[in-house]
Structure 1
Amino acid sequence: MTNSDKFETIVFQQKQVHKAWTGALSRRGENPSQAADGLVWELLLSYSDALRDFDSASEDIYKTAYELARLMLKQVDEKHLTDLYRDRLLEAIIDTGHKKDSCDCRTIVRFANLVSSAFSEARSDMLKKTIRHKRAEGLSNELRVAKSIQNYLLPKVIPDIEGYEFAGRLVPAQEVGGDYWSVKYWKDEGVVTLKLADISGHGLAAATLVAAVKFISGGYYKGAKTAAEVMYQTNRVLAKETPYDVLVSMVYGWLKPESKQLTIVNAGHEPAFLCREGLCIDFYPTGPVLGISETDYAETNVELQKDDIIFFGSDGITEAGVTEQYGLMRLKELVIANSHLHADQIADKVIKTVSDYAGRPHDDMSLVVVRVTT
């Protein structure tokens, strides 16, 4: 028998098996798709190769069975997949082979085991993919909720006080950031509270603490005699109620517009500085970061002058950059160079310049700008 004759014989035998298989499915009311039918035909041809050399054909059998399972598991469950595309196919092979007296039982068993393994792996991979998708979808939903909460917490109205300009910005590295800023005017007391906080890390875990920082520090303002007392009370609560590995750096200020008195309490935060006549003076920390242990905080007092600029920022600004950080010096030079602009324009200029320098931010960028105009 020539090779051509052998090939024609193999094709004829597999056509018989294929016909028996489609007949079995038809009796069950099943009509395989063209794609599924094509994969079954490839599987039968690989089985024919396995009769001669199983090891050489095993990879093709496994790959084809895996693709068949991936296709059909979108339509049927694993039980129906096994029944229709393994058991009925084996039944057709055995029946057709038995009639031809060419049934190789050992090869059939190995073929069945290989198909079963491929089906199981395909099912497992699909389950893993589904789980990952659901987790990602759930996390995405949580992040969207947290994002809406965070947006709600940020100031909706910036104080409009003669002689002063105020601005704030927040650009999160992820959908939700761990930075927080606030500018609030307590008109009855004649005080503007300035806040910028940076919670360790970023994303959902950090963002959930933003609300705590806002409400704790805001809640203790009423009744407090000094800005340092507000920071002390805020730290006391955070040290007791937050995980040990969560730290919050924060710069907090009381600005009295009438007297131009500014009081700063700095809990381990930078950058925070005052620019005046082409020079910038740092507001150095007056106590440790929040959340470690109960401690007292000192204050820095400044009498403001016309054209002064107060700048609070997060380290996402100074540490931005891939090969080289943007740095504090560049930031100060940028603020000085644009000190003639409105506070809003200064804020936008800083965000754009740093973003252009660093590309996509790897950490949250937030800032508060106050400009004294009279």
Structure 2
Amino acid sequence: MTEALERQLEEMTAELLDRYEELTVLYELGASLASEFDVDRIAEIAVRRAAEATGAGKGIVALEREDGLYAAALLGAVRLTPGGLTEYVARTGRELLLHEDEPGPDGVARDVADGAVLSVPLAPPGDASPLGALTLATKTNGGRFSAGDAKLANAVASQLAAAVYRSRLVSSLRATEAVRRELEIAAGIQRTLLPSAPPAVEGAEIAALCMPAANVGGDYYDFVVDGDGRVSFVIADVAGHSIGSALMMAMARSILRRELAEGNDPASVLGATNGALFDDLVRSALFLTVFCARFDPATGLLEYANGGHNPPLVRRSGGGHVELDADGAAVGILRDVDFEPGALALDPGDTLLLYTDGVTEAIGPDGEQFGEERLRATFGDLRPQELVDTLYSASRAHAGVGSAQGDDVTLVAVRREETA
């Protein structure tokens, strides 16, 4: 065998051994990371394996997060230097291989003052920015990092980046699922706070509909019937449709029901509600619009008060609409509010409609709102259930087929009937 052939065989053998070592390291690393989802633990495993394979005495895994770059794992007496080599590689995505005492790029400090340094970026799947960097330093034999070391470090970094990306994705999905479950629970609780069905009241026909834009909403309606057959009802809208809005609405419900059950007139009910909720609403940066009324089917008398809510409409049996307006600020805007009492007589066949702004402010494809004019045009001589269903359908049709509902929608209709 010639000397040239022997050298060639030796080189091939060495290359095969290097390749075998690389595959062994990557296989063992992959097996270690497969069932691990703690990001810092993943980084610790990777830097230790990379250091063992390349003969490095020190190592750093730096990862990006919302508050900046941090050291997820450190091996040996080393630290992450602000503005250093590791940060440079993490931010630029450029590999660095420096021999002992070889300076880095201008203005970039060494994370390790002595020895050779090899730093490679952690490139996630796709074309996203680097997740951080893997830095190895100070060969235990005092030598230099080779091109083979750099190749191995890049392979480790690739597996590490994929594991970190997977872990963060899993954590995000778990958090999203947890929030979804919490929202479903909150939505279920909120639905139980609404009446299961309108009350059966002699001399009145009542229907209601409430459709939140999200899992939980800020709209609310309720009915309370007293011993004299009078029915009190309320419709309200807390700004927003978040969990905070829903919690505030639950608080408002307790106060409103208490005041209505005590037989207080609508203006007094709103005054007590504002007094009880004002501080909480201010701290939460929320406010509540609410309309409260009490109706006596026997006499047709409708008493009402308005706290900054959309003025309800009454459609007379002979045609024509009457707007019910009364002075009063939204609950939570002013500490001291005088709610103006209002009254109107309903004749048999007259229908009262209460609604939230989710109906009139539904926006069509052309950017135009459904508006009060369309509301009045749709508010014809319909029975209460048909009326609320028709208005909701008309509002959604205006917004466009398949469009997302932008706000909570609540409708309440009360019609006076003839009594024996």
Global fold match (TM > 0.5) = yes
For 2:151 and 2:33, the matched residues in 1 are separated by: 20
How many angstroms apart in 2 are the aligned matches of 1:365 and 1:325?
14
Q: Is 1:137 the counterpart of 2:177 in the alignment? A: yes
Give 2:194's aligned residue.
154
1:17 alignment counterpart: 18
Task: State the Cα distance separating 1:372 from its structure 2 match.
Answer: 2.0
Q: Partner letter of residue 369 of structure 1?
A: A
Q: Which residue of 1 aligns with 2:33?
A: 73
Cα deviations by residue, 1:231-251 (Å, 9 ceiling, x for unpaired): 100011111232342100001
- Aligned amino acid, residue 356 of structure 2: S
* 1:180 has 2:220 as partner: yes
Alignment partner for residue 229 of structure 1, among 248, 265, 268? 268
Partner of 1:282: 323
1:303 aligns to 2:345 (yes or no): yes
Q: Deviations 1:306-332 (Å, cap 9, x if unpaired)?
A: 221111111011000141110011011
Task: Name the counterpart of 1:166.
Answer: 206
| Stretch deviating more after TM superposition (122-131 or 145-154) | 122-131
Equivalent runs, 1:34-183 vs 2, <5 Å:
73-76=33-36, 78=42, 79-82=44-47, 86=50, 90=54, 105-111=145-151, 114-115=154-155, 117-118=157-158, 121-183=161-223
- Residues 271 and 328 of structure 1 are in contact (CA less than 8 Å); yes or no, is this contact kept in structure 2? no
Write the deviation string for residues 162-213 of structure 1: whole angstroms up to 9, x where unpaired. Answer: 3321011111111111100112322x13320111100001121111112111
Say whether the 8 Å CA contact 1:73–1:123 is kept in structure 2. Answer: yes
Does structure 2 retain, via aligned residues, the 8 Å contact 1:272–1:282? yes
The residue type equivalent to 1:173 in the other structure is: A
1:200-279 map, 5 Å: 200-244=239-283, 245-276=285-316, 277-279=318-320
Q: CA RMSD in A?
A: 3.0
Residues 266 and 123 from structure 1, CA distance in 2 versus in 1: closer, same or farther, beyond 3 angstroms?
same
In structure 2, give the amino acid aligned to 1:220. E
Q: Does the alignment pair 1:347 with 2:388?
A: yes
Q: Distance in 2 between matches of 1:21 and 1:88?
A: 11
| CA shift for structure 1 position 124 | 4.2
Match of 1:191 in 2: 230
Letter paired with 1:282:
E
Q: CA deviation at 1:259?
A: 1.0
Q: Distance in 2 between matches of 1:356 and 1:333?
A: 15
Corresponding letter in the other structure for 2:230: V
How far off is 1:87 after superposition?
Answer: 5.1
Distance 2:362 2:199 in 1: 30
Q: Which amino acid aligns with 1:314?
A: T
* Residue 326 (structure 1) aligns with: 370
Distance 1:181 1:72 in 2: 56
Aligned to 1:368: 412
Q: Which ranges in structure 2 are unaligned for 5 or more consecutive residues? A: 1-8, 56-142
Q: Which protein has greater RCO, CA pairs closer than 8 Å, 6+ apart?
A: 1
* 1:74 positional shift: 3.5
- The one-letter code of the counterpart of 1:256 is D
The structure carrying a bigger strand percent of its residues is 2
Given that 2:209 and 2:388 are in contact with CA atoms closer than 8 Å, whether structure 1 keeps it comes out as yes
In 2, are the aligned partners of 1:316 and 1:363 still within 8 Å (CA)? yes
Question: What is the one-letter code of the residue matched to 1:179?
Answer: D
Which letter does structure 1 place at the counterpart of 2:331?
L
C-alpha distance 11-234 of structure 1, shift in aligned 2 (>3 A) = farther
For the 8 Å contact 1:266–1:287, the answer to whether it is kept is yes
2 CA distance for matches of 1:280 and 1:74? 69
The structure whose residues are more often helix, as a share, is 1
Change over 3 Å in CA distance of 1:305–1:131 after alignment to 2: same
Q: Percent identity?
A: 23
Secondary structure at the counterpart of residue 18 of structure 1: helix
Q: Tell me the alpha carbon deviations over residues 265-324 of structure 1, each in whole angstroms, 9 at most, x when there is no partner.
A: 111101411111322221124200001212121111011012211111110110001411
Using the TM superposition, give the Cα deviation of residue 158 of structure 1 relative to its aligned residue in structure 2, in angstroms: 1.6
Q: More displaced, 204-213 or 119-128?
A: 119-128
Using the TM superposition, give the Cα deviation of residue 11 of structure 1 relative to its aligned residue in structure 2, in angstroms: 8.7
SS at match of 2:392: helix
With over 3 angstroms needed to count, the CA separation of the structure-2 counterparts of 1:88 and 1:361, relative to structure 1, is: same
Shift of 1:371: 1.6
CA distance in 2 between partners of 1:305 and 1:177 (Å): 34
State the alpha-carbon separation in 1 of the partners of residues 235 and 162 from structure 2: 51
Indicate how the Cα distance of structure 1 residues 74 and 305 shifts in structure 2: closer, same or farther if over 3 A, else same: farther
User: Which of 397, 402, 411 is the equivalent residue of 1:356?
Assistant: 397
If the length of structure 2 is used for normalisation, what is the TM-score? Answer: 0.66
Equivalent position amino acid for 1:269 in 2: H
Q: Which runs of 5+ in 1 are unaligned?
A: 1-7, 26-30, 37-67, 92-102
Q: Which amino acid aligns with 2:313?
A: F
Could you tell me which residue of structure 2 aligns to residue 3 of structure 1?
A: none
Q: Say if 1:270 and 1:314, in contact at 8 Å, map to a contact too.
A: yes
Q: Distance in 1 between matches of 2:394 and 2:405?
A: 12
Tell me if 1:335 matches 2:376.
no
Q: Partner residue of 2:104?
A: none
Q: Matched residue pairs, number?
A: 310
Conserved 8 A contact 1:238-1:291: yes
Query: What is the one-letter code of the residue matched to 1:346?
Result: L
In structure 1, what is the Cα distance between the partners aligned to 2:148 and 2:34?
27
Distance 2:167 2:158 in 1: 14
